[in-house]
Amino acid sequence: MIGKFFRRSSDKSESAAQGQKTAASKPDAAPSKQSARADTGKEGRSGNDRPRNRRRGGGEGGRDKRKDTRKKAPEKPWSLDEFQVPEQEGKVRFHDLDLPLPLMRAIADLGFEYASPIQGQSLPHTLNGHDMVGKAQTGTGKTAAFLITVIDDLLKHPFEGERYAGEARSLIIAPTRELVMQIADDAKGLCKYTDLEIHTLVGGMDYQKQQTALNERFVDILVATPGRLLDFVSKRDCFLDQAEILVIDEADRMLDMGFIPDVRRIVRQTPRKTHRQTMFFSATFTPEVDDLVEQWTSEPVIVEIEPEHVATDTVTQHVYLVSGDEKYPLLFNIVQQDDVESLIVFANRRDQCRRLHENLVAHGIAAGLLSGEVAQNKRVRTLDDFKTGKSKVLVATDVAGRGIHIDGISHVVNYTLPEEPEDYVHRIGRTGRAGKSGTSISFACEDDAMRLEPIEKLLGNKLKCEVPPEELLVKPPKVHIKRDYGDKGDRGNRGGNRGGGRRSGGGGRPRR
């Protein structure tokens, strides 16, 4: 049993190296992946015995093979003496976890001193090879928890010799493009003093460029949305049969979005669960999610961070009772308040978000729009503008907003209350992050006031409802508002963020 949990035994790198020597001893032909696997002594690690897939345009052996000739990242003298963190009772220091020096240096640069609750509870187990199931909202530090585990494993067990183009050592699956990009950015920050290569595969961006990146650089950490990853796997441009670590983030959201069939197909391409380490995260656990945990993890450690603590400890919550016509004047005047440094507005539908964005821009407010109908390259620029302070307000749907992990957001406004109570917690979790305080303001009118009760039940406490001050209901000046889309476009986008846009081909999967 212990051997199953502590899968990263000392013979891992030795046997892998032996297998690579066998492959390298046959320079005239690329080795069969099947024979190379047998030489490593890890029979069954791949979870299947089928012959190696051939890449289109590849050599006789199938996948392009190459030697790892990367030079290690230049290292300036640095020691833990430059990163002094005193011991505190009840807190876990990163110093206590025996992390590699390059990773500790990056952690020091990021200003992390003590592990968050989910990090402190999970890392002692995951760093020793245990599977882990985490029940935690965003804003708890779960991304760093699994990234530190992945990076620690890859650095302590380097792959020697030949590797194959598009072959991932670790895989992180997330439901939205924004979340994938954010995870990758966080990974780059933690890998800045290493030579680990990070790749993203998301829909809405050029397939050929992503394919070229996979071919030109090794794939140490792969972060992907399910639909685009499945495209790459189906076309033999990406290979998962040697993945050492699998991370599934926001499983409940992927279930809601209908991605689980795709994720099942992806997981079947990885080594079986006893031959990989799996970390599984979900904000909520339904019977369907529990079933996925049983299928995809092996005797996992369970770590649970209660949502009510995430929601209320650092966020001051207000609920304003208003009519539908009073919502925009209220939003406009809130944005003008001196204490509003940066603000995210959530609405349930894409057409609502679009009109809000148009109104704010017409009134001279620097605002960005984040929804499924906005092109991916523009969404990236919009997030960058918001992060750097170029824009003060970000208008977003729930699905697009799942990828917003930005510290320092002072306010969140729920222009419409969410249909799912869990989305309320996710929304207000955009503020009050990293121990800072934040403010959440929800607008409740006759159309959505009935959604308050399920939210209060989830939180475990009543939300105080109040009438907004009169000065916040003053009508904004009249301006000409340029509409980018007519009524026909609005009707075509009814249904909001749940369904996303569908493209032709690919089985009609939504691209996130």
d(CA 159, CA 243): 12
d(CA 155, CA 171): 16
Helix, strand, coil percentages, rounded to 5, for the chain: 40, 15, 45
Residues 61-81 as b/e (b if ≥16 CB within 10 A, e otherwise) read bbbbbeeeeeeeeeeeeeeee
Instruction: Look at residue 479 in the predicted model and tell me its pLDDT.
Output: 86
Fold of 2-10+76-305: Rossmann fold (3.40.50)
d(CA 155, CA 99): 10
Instruction: Answer yes or no: are the C-beta atoms of 6 and 128 closer than 8 Å.
Output: yes
Per-domain boundaries in the chain:
2-10+76-305, 308-486
- Sequence-ordered strand ranges (E) for 289-392: 301-304, 315-321, 343-346, 367-370
Q: Which backbone phi and psi does 344 adopt, to 5 degrees?
A: -110, 130
Place of tokens 């046997």: 15
Token digits of residue 59: 């050599």
Strand partners, 290: none
Sign of CA dihedral 125, 126, 131, 133: positive
**Tell me, what amino acid is at 280?**
F
Instruction: Look at residue 447 in the predicted model and tell me its pLDDT.
Output: 85
Instruction: Look at residue 240 in the predicted model and tell me its pLDDT.
Output: 97
Token digits of residue 2: 């212990």
Q: Which CATH number fits domain 308-486: 3.40.1190.10, 3.40.720.10, 3.10.20.30, 3.40.50.300?
A: 3.40.50.300
From residue 52, alpha-carbon distances to 25, 30, 240, 274 in Å are 19, 11, 12, 21
Place of tokens 């523009």: 378
Burial of residue 369 (CB within 10 Å: 0-12, 13-18, 19+) is buried
Instruction: Look at residue 444 in the predicted model and tell me its pLDDT.
Output: 93
- Provide the greatest CA pair distance for the chain: 81
Instruction: Look at residue 68 in the predicted model and tell me its pLDDT.
Output: 58
Q: Which backbone phi and psi does 221 adopt, to 5 degrees?
A: -125, 120
Token digits of residue 300: 């996992």
Residues of the chain with pLDDT under 70: 1-76, 137-139, 306-312, 400-404, 434-435, 484-512
Nearest to 429 by CA among 419, 448, 414: 414
Give the model confidence (pLDDT) of 308-330 as tens digits.
454 557 789 999 999 999 999 99
pTM: 0.65
**Tell me, what amino acid is at 168?**
A
